[in-house]
Structures are given as structure tokens and as C-alpha cells.
Amino acid sequence: VICEIPAAAINCWLDDGGIDWTDRRLAAGLDITHPHMRACLLRLADEVRHPGSGSAILAELIARQLAIEVARYCQAIGEGPVSGGLSSWRLRRIEERLHMLGPPPTLGELAALCNLSPRQLTRGFRASRGCSIGDHIAQTRIDMAKRHLATPQSIKEIAFALGFASPSSFAYAFRRATGSTPRQFRQRRLSPPFSG
């Protein structure tokens, strides 16, 4: 799904009436991994693939939420030189660890992996990705769960493979993040889209 948002849809949410699109802001817009925006895009894609009652209105509301999230993201990008962010090798190590099966890593484990203190890691990650490392870990686990739900694995197997204490704790976390249970999500993925 390609989602184009007109500048006016973003600017209307900003106090100063618009964004000065500096090179730094344009560069930051090329790879937005903020969990709120990612969740909006995934929800929008799901709605487009599997429309239901009120789909057009719901898609418009999700797009408006996305515009607000983009406005907040762009407003938060400072104008000074990029500093305090993590190097690409550290970000790569974090991603590799997050995509391993089993319980999610602790902040201490990730900090040791990057040879940083937890405080340095926390600040550097936010400067690099625009979100907290905790939000990113949670979103990565949900994304992994969605991929596993497209396989024949049982929900119980998926829950334990992703390091959840029980299938019910997995279902709770998944529903809180996506608005549907793992079973509902799987059923929507498997049901063919309605064509009338």
C-alpha cells in the first residue's frame, strides 16, 4: 500500500502552520520506523486488504491519525546537527537480536551487546529512531507474531516461540497492539477478500 499524505494534512496540526522542510527533516522522512506510524500503516493496509462495514470512513480516520503522527514526528526533529544517535552496526545488532525467537532482550542485554550503558543506549536509540527502545521491542514482537500467524503453527506454539509466558498473555499483548486477537487476525488473513 502506498500512502501519500498532502502537506496540508500535516501542516494543519502544527502550531506554527507548517514545517520548514530542511535537508535534515527530508532525510529523517526517508526511513520512519516510529511504532505509532507503523501501526497506523499496518492497520490501514489491513483495512484495504480486508474491508468491512464502514471501511471508507475508517480508512480516512486512520489516514488522519497517520497525518497527526507524521506532524508530531516532523516537529520533534531538531534543526541542529545529528548527534547522539547510534551507529549503524549497533542498530543492526539490536535488530538481529530482536528478531531471534524466545523472550525479548532486556535493556541491559542490548546495552552490553552495543558496549554502551543502558542510559546511553536509551538516548542514542531515541535519537536514531524517534521512539523509545521499549516501544520498538514491543512493535517488533507484534510484527513477528503477525508473520508467524500466517504459518500453520498453533497460537500456543507461536506464543512460546516469541517468549510469552502463556498463550493468554500473548493474546492480551497482541489484542492491545492490534485491536484483534491472534485468532481473529489469522481468520481475517485466511478469509478471501469480498468481491461484489
The total domain count for the chain is 1
Top pLDDT among 78 and 181 is at 181
DSSP designation for 81: -
For position 36, what pLDDT does the model report? Answer: 74
Asked, for residue 109, whether it belongs to a domain, the answer is no
Q: What is the pTM of this model?
A: 0.58
Best CA proximity match to 145, nearest among 95, 191, 97, 98: 98
pLDDT 10s digits, 21-34: 666 666 666 656 66
Whole domain around residue 16: which residue ranges? 1-82
Q: What is the pLDDT of residues 146-181, one digit of tens each?
A: 999 989 999 999 999 999 999 999 999 999 988 899
Please answer whether residues 114 and 86 qualify as being in contact, where contact means their C-beta atoms are separated by less than 8 angstroms: yes
Give domain status of residue 52, yes or no. yes
Integer Rg of the chain from CA: 19
pLDDT tens figures, 12-65: 777 666 667 666 666 666 656 667 777 788 888 888 888 888 888 988 888 888
**Cα–Cα distance measured from residue 180 to residue 174, given in angstroms and rounded to the nearest whole number:** 7
In a domain, 167, yes or no: no
DSSP letter at 153 equals: -
